[in-house]
Structure 1
């Protein structure tokens, strides 16, 4: 990456933890060889600054970890120009599932060949199911037995998240694993979403962590608040949107931006709050270099699908869950 500090300029550290969420350029000491220091530069969004460690998310989606003691210079820089790409990257169903899984990370994972076993204390089906990918490295019956054993050790019911196109869907069905919660992953170019009107006098507030208002509006935590907080704050570059009557969440991962947890309280519906939240999150994601949007919606949620149709989302693929028969 080209240096963002001109040669001979005075090096000053002009960023603090209060700049989290802003785009910054930093220089760090890489090593000292024969008494001569060498430096590296990083430009990206300051994702966090905790316990003496700085994390910066580059436009590629890579997160760089830098010890605070290694910083020799840093400054806030203007947001990256918004790229107006209209094409959504061409990815397979499996690749799309891996991207989505990073945006809703379980608190514990294990690999079983091409499958990922996920557990998050019971908070959401997605974070407590096996992401069925390629070959599990075992015959299918043995793989299913290992899934049952692994979740049994954690006192949790076994569950599979299976792309509709996966050959393992038919195998699980033949073994009596019942199908539930058909879901669609839908994608769209991000640029049109950045142009969504605010449509309300109340501003949308963006933050790196969910505040009390956001958590109060997010009604799915139940008795699992601690596990929920760990999941919803996980991901490469996470943003929370809050405004009176509505909330939302976005996760930026390279060219992709996930939109989720878009909630509008019943008394505030049909006021354009959902699109205001999505527009604010889209503009932030575009500043970080994202060019494509995606979301997950249950196949039978006609209202949400209609909204997303109007916003330009189209189906990428479907997936569903399977559980062993009782």
Structure 2
């Protein structure tokens, strides 16, 4: 066993980084009868005076672990821990996004969710959300019966190449349209506000309950909804004759400012995967991909 940091890839240079450290537990015996080992995963907060201090991953309440360097047998830096918002499952993230449709009617089908809107024609508001196992026998047949009873074509929102994707395709379902898969993106509200450039055109805001609409004259508009600490954005549209003037950013700026005042900390939006201009715009604002999904429909 070496006390030299060169025996692994740890050392003073990893202070402030997330690391995994394997250490010996002196005086203890492992399950096989040999020396006992223990792993610590967290942020290295100090290295020196013969010890390495690691704050374990968690909610911040964990007690830092002081590890004698001489007991370290392996270790390396690891990628930063994803933010809490990125660890939310696709199904849960999609459930958070229901607030964008104020008249949405929903019915649980195990862990799936049947969605219907009497006014909106968007697929997000008129499809079964099936991004995890339903846990219900006969779920497929019940989806078909539900939407046929409403006089609607059955549509399912599924993760690409998932078991649910295969389930519906095995029943002859096909892509609902020629659209690319949809990208569900997330960002921190504060981070988006910091990235907005100064001097944007002014936008007018109209608030109706948990929904808000921002407009820059007749040229640009967008809608936002706040539910708890999540804020969603949709229909960010700019007249083609007025593009490249910062109007989309002006609309986003007005809406994100309102969302922040409402206490939102997480922002989400959804963009078709082939909309390169929109994806580039939102990437500059700090949005990152959380998941992609597609719509399948019963064959006509």
TM-score, normalised relative to structure 1: 0.60
Which residue does the alignment assign to 1:237? Answer: 210
Alpha-carbon spacing, 1:272–1:310, altered in 2? closer, same or farther (3 Å): same
8 Å contact kept, 1:188–1:312: yes
Which residue does the alignment assign to 2:228? Answer: 254
Post-superposition Cα deviations, 1:158-188, rounded to whole Å, max 9, x if no partner, equal 0001133742111112222112441010111
For 1:165 and 1:238, the matched residues in 2 are separated by 34
For residue 224 of structure 2, give the secondary structure of its aligned residue in structure 1: strand
Post-superposition Cα deviations, 1:222-252, rounded to whole Å, max 9, x if no partner, equal xxxxxxxxxxxxxx82111111211111112
Which residue does the alignment assign to 2:125? Answer: 127
Which residue does the alignment assign to 1:322? Answer: 296
Shift of 1:147: 1.3
TM-score, normalised relative to structure 2: 0.65
For 1:274 and 1:88, the matched residues in 2 are separated by 28
For 1:315 and 1:146, the matched residues in 2 are separated by 32
1:93 equivalent in alignment to 2:93: no
1:175 equivalent in alignment to 2:148: no
Which residue does the alignment assign to 1:296? Answer: 270
Which residue does the alignment assign to 1:206? Answer: 205
Shift of 1:255: 2.3
Which residue does the alignment assign to 1:283? Answer: 257
Counterparts of residues 1-326 of structure 1 (less than 5 Å): 87=83, 89=85, 90-105=87-102, 107-121=104-118, 123-139=121-137, 142-164=138-160, 166-180=162-176, 181=179, 182-195=181-194, 196-197=196-197, 199-201=199-201, 203-209=202-208, 237-244=210-217, 245-326=219-300
How many residue pairs end up in the alignment? 212
- Structure 2, unmatched stretches of 5+, are 1-81
Alpha-carbon spacing, 1:164–1:111, altered in 2? closer, same or farther (3 Å): same
Aligned Cα root-mean-square deviation (Å)? 2.2
Alpha-carbon spacing, 1:316–1:126, altered in 2? closer, same or farther (3 Å): same
Structure with bigger gyration radius: 2
- Structure 1, unmatched stretches of 5+, are 1-85, 210-235
Alpha-carbon spacing, 1:105–1:164, altered in 2? closer, same or farther (3 Å): farther
8 Å contact kept, 2:130–2:157: yes
For 1:239 and 1:312, the matched residues in 2 are separated by 22
Q: Which structure has the higher relative contact order (CA within 8 Å, separation 6+)?
A: 1
For residue 280 of structure 2, give the secondary structure of its aligned residue in structure 1: helix
Post-superposition Cα deviations, 1:115-173, rounded to whole Å, max 9, x if no partner, equal 1111224611111100114443433xx32221111111111100001133742111112
Alpha-carbon spacing, 1:92–1:137, altered in 2? closer, same or farther (3 Å): closer
Shift of 1:253: 2.0
8 Å contact kept, 1:113–1:134: no
8 Å contact kept, 1:106–1:128: no
8 Å contact kept, 1:198–1:275: no
For 2:239 and 2:83, the matched residues in 1 are separated by 33
For 1:290 and 1:115, the matched residues in 2 are separated by 26
For 1:186 and 1:297, the matched residues in 2 are separated by 8
For 1:273 and 1:160, the matched residues in 2 are separated by 34
